[in-house]
Structure 1
Amino acid sequence: TGIAGPGGGTPQKKVGLVYFGIGQKNEETEIHEHYFPFPRSSFREFAAHTGIYLLYDRLKRSA
């Protein structure tokens, strides 16, 4: 979840902020906060790549 922009941000939650949560049975849930201060299209691309990487990393560590 996050705020891709161009509007919708607040002083507490700026445009470009995104959260990732990764859960797995019998494992602690990970929460990652990232900030990508880019235009919406770039934000979406960086967020997608980051989410895929975080999932890959979690699966690799649990194997």
Structure 2
Amino acid sequence: MKRQKVCILGVSGSVGKQTLEVVENNSEHFVLNAISFWKNIDFFKKINKNHLNLKYVYCSSAVKKK
């Protein structure tokens, strides 16, 4: 059976973390293909250790305007 590709927007948030847990606990059905997060680089490093085949990663951070 072919696994479904999953994209998690806001993976470092509470819903994103729960979705990541579902994907990891059901790896026979799902493969993490893409993620986005705000600026939590440490959390990304943790994810990247377990999901080396991520195709797309987007990191955004706030820029303060003067």
User: Normalization by structure 1: what TM-score?
Assistant: 0.30
